[in-house]
Structure 1
Amino acid sequence: MSRVLVVGSLNADLVVRTERFPGPGETVAGEDLTVGPGGKGANQAVAAARLGAGAGVGVGVGMVGAIGDDDHGRTVRDAVAAAGADVDRVAVRTGAATGTAVITVDAAGDNTIVVSPGANATLGPEDLPAFDDVAVLTLCLEIPTPTVLAAARAAHAAGTTVLLNLSPYAPVPPELLDATDVLVVNEHEAALLGEHSVPRSVVTRGAAGCEVHDADRDTVSTVDAMRVEPVDTTGSGDAFLAAVAVRLAAGDDLVDAARYAVRAGALAVTVAGAQLPPVGDDERIRFGL
């Protein structure tokens, strides 16, 4: 069993759809508030489990994170488990609230997101497992940077492929990039980061697809996106990252993994919500998954 491990965040998503985003100081009308499972880490674990279940290989998925002892925490943990990921290492913090994300989605499917970390901020290096049986580790920045760095270093030393998503963007220590095998950033994050030491990287470009950079081979490969009508872009980047992880764990090279990932990302934007829904035979055929 190839294994994908996600060390990251679990949030409750509070979502309001509106015709357009308000300007500074402006109030606009929205639809009813919905509450659902989210968090970049949980989204990645759900997508990896659902994509890996039909990938033609055994790709087990595990989740490491922290939630509060509350209804929101139980909801998001149960959603990850229901997708088929192992949640035994999701810690419950008494006295801390589960992280929350306040999300606005406009008529074009674009979103704005404000995250309150809650229990995610308590995840520490002491919560990390051994990485001996992990093929690919995925990391993002909704948990403390020292924990991300500790996970990357330990996984890299164990021979695990470290897949880092610099989202939400923040400056990171050079040591983290040195321990990263594959970096995934969008165009905005790439511009903020500038030159870096990671030998392989993917720059996502939304509806324009992505670029795969391989410094060792001195190549840049362009991967076109699928044309779809977007409903909600929330979580599409997480589905993309999860798909890259699943295909790398299955033995694909990075370009082929990115080709698969743009199709998973296209599926993700055609449905509302942050987490990839169950992927049936019709979706696998239509999106080439």
Structure 2
Amino acid sequence: MSDINVVVVGSINMDLVIFTKRFPKNGETIIGNDFRRIPGGKGANQAVAAKRLGANVDIIGCVGDDLYGKELQSIFENEGIGTDYIHAVPNKNTGVAFITVNQQGENSIILSQGSNSNLSPKLIRKAEQVIKKAHVLLLQLEVPVESVIESVKIAKKYKIPIILNPAPAIELNATLLEHIDYLTPNETESKQILGRDFGTNEEIINTLKGIGVKHIIVTLGENGVVFNNHAEEIIQLDALKVNAVDTTGAGDAFNAAFGVSIAEGKTITESIHFAQTVAAYSVTKSGAQPSFPYSRELDA
């Protein structure tokens, strides 16, 4: 059994995915191809990806008292993920994401939060003991920001490294950002969280460093990653070249792999290399969680 403990606070959804040659225009109906029902949500995705990479994982989140909620709980248990802090909310639907994937592997997503909006600071405080034992805490923004802030407070109390994937992006205040060890936005999110535009990625990184974020990792899709390392150098790494089938969940695969590697004591550069490998693997398969590799697959 692994001695690395990862705790994820975040959303739990059922993804309803339709594949099509192209996205419809406004007001247009088109005929799609395959339809799939796939477990998802950024929190759930990161939990599954981290578990498959060998970590001990607990997830803190909410589901509805419906069939999707029961099915998702069962999936976590089958993956070996701790579910003691998943709360079933009465009379509320489980979160649902409607995802369209075109033939280039690009996706468009509409999200219904459902029970994810019921993850309160009070429920986070009930999970303090499991957060206390974590080697890294993974956060996103598909749950109420007050609960993200509460999670940060508890993690800082016990000196747990914090990774915040600021998606979906909202403007964040400096009081939250100054406590984040690793911030992992894409280019669009990096501008939205500060509420203004920037000229270069270097300017984004330096601005966020000035607020207090220790490390900023801006993901650039097919153009790779730009980040500041432990020596405070700004470095860009190229993306790995693969034939993309579906990019859904690639960011979650990246964040989970990065978190596992950081928890293992690897450097930020080593952890990003590993995260890029896992994310690249994931886009060669359809769906989010079904595409996440086990460690043995990466070795092969």
Q: TM-score range by the shorter chain?
A: over 0.9
Q: 2:280 aligns with which of 266, 269, 284?
A: 266
Q: Distance in 2 between matches of 1:138 and 1:277?
A: 17
Does 2:161 align with 1:151?
A: no
The aligned residue for residue 112 of structure 2 is 116
Does 2:69 align with 1:73?
A: yes
Does 2:197 align with 1:201?
A: no
> What TM-score, normalized by structure 1, do the two folds share?
0.92
The aligned residue for residue 56 of structure 1 is none
The structure where helix makes up a greater share of residues is 2
Q: Which amino acid aligns with 1:268?
A: S
Q: 2:122 aligns with which of 105, 123, 126?
A: 126
Q: String of CA shifts for 1:205-226, please: whole Å, max 9, x gaps.
A: 1122211224x73311222222
Q: Distance in 2 between matches of 1:223 and 1:250?
A: 21
The structure where strand makes up a greater share of residues is 1
Q: Which amino acid aligns with 1:12?
A: M
Q: String of CA shifts for 1:213-255, please: whole Å, max 9, x gaps.
A: 24x7331122222211111100000000000110011111111
Q: Which runs of 5+ in 1 are unaligned?
A: 54-58
> What TM-score, normalized by structure 2, do the two folds share?
0.89
* Deviation larger for 168-177 or 91-100: 168-177
Task: Report if aligned partners of 2:254, 2:278 keep a CA contact under 8 Å in 1.
Answer: yes
Deviation at 1:278, TM superposition (A): 4.8
The aligned residue for residue 261 of structure 2 is 247
Q: Distance in 1 between matches of 2:16 and 2:40?
A: 9
The aligned residue for residue 51 of structure 2 is 49
The aligned residue for residue 16 of structure 2 is 14
The aligned residue for residue 228 of structure 1 is 242
Q: Distance in 2 between matches of 1:280 and 1:163?
A: 21
* Deviation larger for 218-227 or 232-241: 218-227
* Deviation larger for 169-178 or 137-146: 169-178
Cα root mean square deviation, aligned: 1.4
Q: Which amino acid aligns with 1:107?
A: Q
Deviation at 1:5, TM superposition (A): 0.3
Aligned residues: 278
SS of the equivalent of 2:132 reads coil
Q: 2:4 aligns with which of 2, 5, 16?
A: 2
Question: Identical aligned pairs, as a percentage?
Answer: 37
Q: Which runs of 5+ in 2 are unaligned?
A: 195-203
The aligned residue for residue 37 of structure 1 is 39
Deviation at 1:183, TM superposition (A): 0.2
Deviation at 1:284, TM superposition (A): 1.3
Q: Distance in 2 between matches of 1:109 and 1:273?
A: 10
Q: Which amino acid aligns with 2:287?
A: G
SS of the equivalent of 1:245 reads helix
Task: Report if aligned partners of 1:156, 1:180 keep a CA contact under 8 Å in 2.
Answer: no
Deviation at 1:280, TM superposition (A): 6.0
